[in-house]
A and B are shown apart, each in its own frame.
Chain A
Amino acid sequence: MESPSGSPPVPETPGSAALLAPAGGLERCATGIEGLDNIMGGGIPRGNMVLVAGSVGTGKTTLCLEFLVRGAERGERSLFISVTESAAKLIQNLSTFEFFRTDLIDQGSLVFVDLPVVYDRLGLGHEELTREEIDIVIRTIRDLVRSLGIRRLVLDSLTSLCYRIRRDEQIRDFMLRLGEELSAAGCTSLLVSEIGPTTGRYSLHGVEEAIVDGVVLLWNTRRLGDIVRVLQIVKMRGTAHSRAQYVMELTPIGILMAPHLKGGRETGGP
């Protein structure tokens, strides 16, 4: 390759294009969390399905809620599917944040759905979902997304849903089909994964992280006895992203992030 200035040609090495290419290309779904968007080159590639994995008290649900609220503010209709916590309680918790506006719910920009209520209405009362019932769940989510024009979706939590889908191949099939449906609708989704503090994997069964487009890992670590909440992007298809660790703070104006200080020491992961 000849350089325009006549200087020696720059050798092309495998992957050099990816290293040097600008982050643009794919349309972005800006999370609205400035620190997070900054380390992903502007946001999550539109249509990606992302696992938000972490143990209790790491800020998974808050991160997901802010993602939806910021989207609704930008005119992207957003849907929260709750499996464990009631919508009323979630909205009550949200009201403590200054970035939350109740009119987003009133005008239908921010929609909450309790999945257990949907199970009841559809008669899905079995402890373990059959293949047909899994199909019904996927179609129900797909119909909600299509009919309401949903652009952002959160499922909180995937883990609770997967407790009723016992077999790995069924979970794999569920994830693949859900991802296809959401991506086809241009809907960017965050799926909450509840993991133990030291599991060494990102989901209940270990197959979920292989299917999703991205994994955002959250954990609590200790420094001289104090708890520090840490975030790291492990994987994000379709964009260059930082793989460094960041400290996350849940403030009334939203999530703020700062580099995780290490002082020259290895801090490890969760």
Chain B
Amino acid sequence: MPPFDIGERLRGLPGGSAIALKLDPREYADHYFAVLNAALRDVGSETDAHTIYVAVTSPAAFVWSLAQALDVPPERISFVDAISHIMMNYANPLGNATYVDSPRALEEIMLRVEFLLRKYPHPRSIVVIDSVNSLAIHNPPELLSEFFHILLNNLKSRNVLTLVLETSEEETTGVEQMLNLVVDETIDVARAGR
């Protein structure tokens, strides 16, 4: 586990910030859980925020089971699930999730985030996008750049804290370069832990 407190870093961010969180694939499980803990419990619960979790890497049901282990109350988190439909894993939909046909439906993802922000208006909202790499598997880079540019600007104007999860590679990829252009800061979870 990284020795520094990710939660403290995130708590100190002003509303409207857009942050990329780089996770090391070799220590993915540890880093992912630390980030989840920081985002959902440290920032989410302690600042009384409502979190909208955009699930593209794993189904919302899986993330929800982890959130439950972190004692996150269901009224504090909603999901935009963009992966369950194409995985044909939609038999038991969650009550606090809205399901998008596929990770390619980028506008629909934007609109579902908008829908949840309106349905659960809150002075402090957090949007977690998990992850840019999963979205990149399904979408051409130009489309993904346009998506992030519009979505992050929109969330920034609404004072929403946005956390974009990113699995870092050995070399800088096009996805990382694109993300660097649209986020305010990148927190390298692995490097900060050394």
Contacts and interface: CB of A to CB of B under 8 A. Distances in A.
Interface string B94-124: 0000000110111110111011001100000
Contact of A228 (B107, B112, B140): B107
A261 B143 contact: yes
Contacts, number: 52
A257 B115 CA distance: 10
A144 interface: no
Contacts of A25: none
Nearest to A225: B104
A258 B107 contact: yes
Interface residues of A, number: 18
Contacts of B101: 226
Given A249-B115, A256-B114, A261 B147 contact: yes
B105 A263 contact: no
A126 interface: no
Interface size class of chain B, counting residues whose CB lies under 8 Å from the partner chain: 20 to 34
A38 to B, nearest CB: 12
A108 interface: no
B169 interface: no
Nearest to B110: A258
B39 to A, nearest CB: 24
B146 A226 contact: no
Contacts of A264: 142, 146
20 contacts: A223-B104, A224-B104, A226-B102, A226-B104, A228-B105, A228-B108, A247-B108, A247-B111, A249-B111, A258-B107, A258-B110, A258-B111, A258-B114, A259-B107, A259-B150, A260-B107, A261-B106, A261-B146, A263-B144, A263-B146
Nearest to A247: B107
